[in-house]
Chains A and B, each alone.
Chain A
Amino acid sequence: MRVDPRPNGIASPALTAILADGRRRQRNALAATIGGTAVIVGAFAYAGAFELHRYADALSTIGQLAADSLPPDFSRLPHWGRPLLETLAMSVAGTVLGAAAALPLGALAARNIVRQAILGGAARLFLNVLRSIPGLIWGVIFVAAVGFGPLPGILALATHSTGMLGKFFAETLEHVDPGPGDALRSIGVSRVGVLRFSILPQILPRLIDVTIYRWEHNLRAATTLGVVGVGGLGLEIVTAFHLFEYREASALIIVLLSLVTLINIVGARVRARLLGGL
């Protein structure tokens, strides 16, 4: 049913425009729904998700693998202390190094801090490159550059973390209240002083919050990096799988899960303390 755009017989251009806008939005929503659905279905089809014969033996294979993994074999537990510490050290050092590099780069990328479009654009492009290359690729690159062991792991985690945290930091900086900074500028405080005395106190809880999230992420990523030879628990897990020692692999996964859970609990407490005080 069409609504008469001329109520009471009086022409109303505003009402006509409102109704036209409504029809346009409806058309756009329909087109977006059809287009979005097509993309999603296409993605599943391309990945072979609709080739049902491939699922035929999947459940029984997973069941067999699970059965072979039980009970977990902790007999080599005393040997896992060092890999465990390596993984933990990689996550801590990689996160700290990444956050330290992300802070100045994030400041350069923030549009309200650096007005020069070229400098800001270059910083944003650099951060984009750092986070667009997956951590595993960075791992391969740094293993080639500095050899095996936790060091390439630290560098790979730090590089990817810089890209992610730098973007977060830049966005946080862009949403900072300029009022306190104006108050400082009005008494002659330098730009560095404004950053130190006004901006940093405002954003510090958020920076620490995202950095802790990144640490939790890096702990899991450090394990994955074991695949490319950076040591740690990841290497132990991959080796156990290669040797078909599924019971040992499941024990290692339980150790890893315990560590991740512990870090999550610590991180949640620190975050609650920081953000709860606001």
Chain B
Amino acid sequence: MHDVSLSFPNRTITAVVGPSGVGKTTLMRTLNGLLPPAQGVVSVAEFGPLDNPVAWQEMRRRTATVFQDHALIDRLTAIDNVLLGLADSRHPLSLLPWPRSFRIRAAQALDEVGLLGRATARVAQLSGGERQRVGIARALVRRPRLLLGDEPFAAVDLALARRLGDEFRHLVARSNLTVILVLHQLQMARTLADRIVGLANGRVAFDGSATEFDASAEHRIFGTATSEGDFLCPANQEREAI
């Protein structure tokens, strides 16, 4: 990625769209600190540029990420995976069980994604959609200020995706939450996001409100026919499905 300069205002939902391999996941991993930028800096209005470990630690305390491949531990139960979202609050050498207050928070997070009934099931026994929801619950349990999602609705059906999207909307409305999501469902991006960032060839090809994201913007981003472009582009078909 080159010459990417983006700012994300508080209490907004931004959708990042673009063809495969364009750098969407790289952008997410840069924002959550897993991949330090080769050049440039990530800056947060509250505490300035994140150019030292202490600043990053502050940022990470307020951040949660939903990963594309779920990043769950299969042999643990759903609730134990959600509890890992609070692992930064525990001493790594502690052998004590998770505190009751943490368990209650984890149960609430599972309830928010409609999985409370499967809390004690091992993740290996869950469907792809259920696993995705556990991943979302693990992010929500942190009560983050910045929620990053790399294809958070990829494995769930459209109805559930819309329900979870509504949940994100409510969270943005009632708490000081900022959401940045990589989405491949363009219609989902249009209905859920306040703003859409389109990446093409490692650069920002579109940055505007969801209502401004028209056919020409779509063409600029997905214009060159790639196999995934073909899959991504047919927004009309997607509308019919919804």
Contact = CB atoms under 8 A, between A and B. Distances in A.
Interface in A167-211: 177, 179-180, 182-190, 192-193, 195-198, 201-202, 205
Contact of B87 (A189, A202, A277): A189
Given A183-B67, A186-B34, A187-B87, A192 B92 contact: yes
Given A179-B67, A196-B93, A198-B84, A188 B61 contact: yes
Contacts of B67: 179, 182-183
A183 B92 contact: no
Question: On chain A, which size bracket covers the interface?
Answer: 20 to 34
Contact of B71 (A179, A189, A195, A277): A179
A53 to B, nearest CB: 59
Contact of B84 (A177, A184, A195, A205): A184
B19 interface: no
A278 interface: yes
Interface residues of B, number: 31
Contact of A188 (B70, B88, B122): B88
A197 B81 CA distance: 10
A197 B74 contact: no
A186 B60 contact: yes
B67 to A, nearest CB: 6
A190 to B, nearest CB: 6
Contacts, number: 75
A198 B65 contact: no
Interface in B90-136: 90, 92-93, 122, 124
Given A186-B32, A187-B60, A179 B124 contact: no
Interface in B49-99: 56-57, 60-61, 63-65, 67, 69-76, 80, 84-85, 87-88, 90, 92-93
A187 B75 CA distance: 22
Interface in A208-252: none
Interface of A is mostly: helix
B84 A197 contact: yes
A180 B73 CA distance: 6
Contacts of A205: 75
Contacts of B142: 187
B92 A277 contact: no
Contacts of B87: 184, 187, 189, 193, 197
A278 B124 contact: yes
Contacts of A188: 56-57, 60-61, 88
Contacts of B72: 179-180
A182 B84 CA distance: 12
A172 to B, nearest CB: 14
Contacts of B92: 189-190, 192-193, 195-197
Nearest to B85: A187
Given A186-B33, A197-B92, 4 more contacts: A180-B84, A187-B64, A189-B88, A193-B90
30 contacts: A180-B73, A182-B34, A182-B67, A183-B65, A183-B138, A184-B84, A184-B88, A186-B65, A187-B60, A187-B65, A187-B85, A187-B87, A188-B57, A188-B88, A189-B87, A192-B92, A192-B93, A193-B87, A193-B88, A193-B92, A196-B92, A197-B84, A197-B90, A197-B92, A198-B84, A201-B73, A202-B73, A277-B75, A278-B122, A278-B124
